[in-house]
Structures are given as C-alpha cells and as structure tokens.
Amino acid sequence: MTEMPKDYAAAKMGMWLFLFTEVLLFGGLFLLYAAYRHRYPVDFHNAHLSLDLVLGAANTVVLITSSLTVALAISALQRGRMRHCYLFLGGTVGLALLFLVNKYFEWSAKLHHGIYPGSEHLAHLPKAENLFFGLYFSMTGLHGVHVLVGAVVLSWVMFLIRRGRVTQAEYVTLENAGLYWHLVDLVWIYLFPLFYLIS
C-alpha cells in the first residue's frame, strides 16, 4: 500500500472546507430561487418556456460525462498510466469548453431577443418574470465562471503532471481539482431542473 504524503490530510481538509463555502454560496441562491418560485409559480413557469431545453439537456450530458472523465483521470494517475491521465484530463477540459460554447449560444439567443437584465423587453413583462431572468442570468453566469475556473485549474494540473510535480505518489492536487469539478457538475444538476423543467 502506497504511503500518503504528510500533507495529504491537510490538503483534503482544506479542499472540503473550500467546497463547503461554495455550497453555502449556491445554497443561498437556491433558497432565494425557491422563495420567489413559491410566491410566483405561474410567472416562473411562463418565463421558463423561453429557455432552450435541448441546449440545457445537452449541457447536462456534457457535464455528467466530464465527471466521469475526471474520475478516470484520477484513477489513471494513481495507477501510473500517465498517457491515459492526459487523455482523460484533456477530454474533461474539452467538455468544459463545449459546455461554455453551448452556454454562449444560448445566452446569445437571449440577448438577440432582448432578454437580459435591464432590457426594454423585460420591462414590459410581469415583475416576477424579471425576477426569474435575473436569477437565471446570475446563477447560470456564476456557474459558468466556475466551469471556466475549473477548466483552467485542470489545465494547470496537466502542466504540473508534465513537470513531474503531480505524480502517482503525489496525486492530491489532481484529486482536489476533481472534487471541485464534481461540485461544479452537481450544481448544474440542480440548476437544470430548476430553470428548464418547471412544471
């Protein structure tokens, strides 16, 4: 059995504490969303009809797949299969970029139709629909920033692996990056039904 590095437990604890703050951030936004949706169920339903369900579902598949590839990358590194680790990490970063490209097209369509915070089009809609789109842009935008950060972090870990600073014996950096990525995926799994599957 491989002996864990001395700072392994501390690194893991630090990462879990950081992830806890992220849960608090998104948890607060989810509570805000729940309160407004409970108060304005009809307006939230009407507003969600303008979202692109196909792109939302496609992005869900993309992120779930990326969770698999990052887990496979960690497993490959722990087994010393560096080539497989690079391939899986590269796939994860590629899927992250695909998610952002899909989100770009989705947001572009909204902007083209005048659906964005402060727009004249939204000014003529009921106040609660304005709230829906405000929450939609802020929550999916914040999540998009997290996806971008995750892609940068995973790319940085690939660089560290190439430099020999993250190895089969010293893999906690990749493991922590993977934990962050799983949180990013988990947040989207909640965002998708909240905004796209309102009944």
Contact at 8 Å (CB) between 46 and 129? yes
Spell 158-183 as b/e; 16+ CB within 10 A means b. Answer: beebeeeebeeebbbbbbbbbbbbbb
Q: Is the pLDDT of residue 23 over 50?
A: yes
120-175 pLDDT per residue, tens? 888 888 899 999 999 999 999 999 999 999 999 999 999 999 999 998 988 999 99
Average pLDDT score over residue span 25-32: 97
Q: What are the φ and ψ backbone dihedral angles of 125, each rounded to 5 degrees?
A: -90, 160
Q: What is the pLDDT of residue 5?
A: 54
Under the banding of pLDDT at 50, 70 and 90, the label for residue 2 is very low
Q: What is the pLDDT of residue 6?
A: 55
68-84 pLDDT per residue, tens? 999 999 999 999 999 99
57-66 pLDDT per residue, tens? 999 999 999 9
Q: What is the pLDDT of residue 1?
A: 39
Please give the model's pTM, rounded to 2 decimal places. Answer: 0.92
Domains and CATH numbers, the chain: 8-196 (1.20.120.80)
- How far apart CA 75 and CA 56 sit, in angstroms, is 29
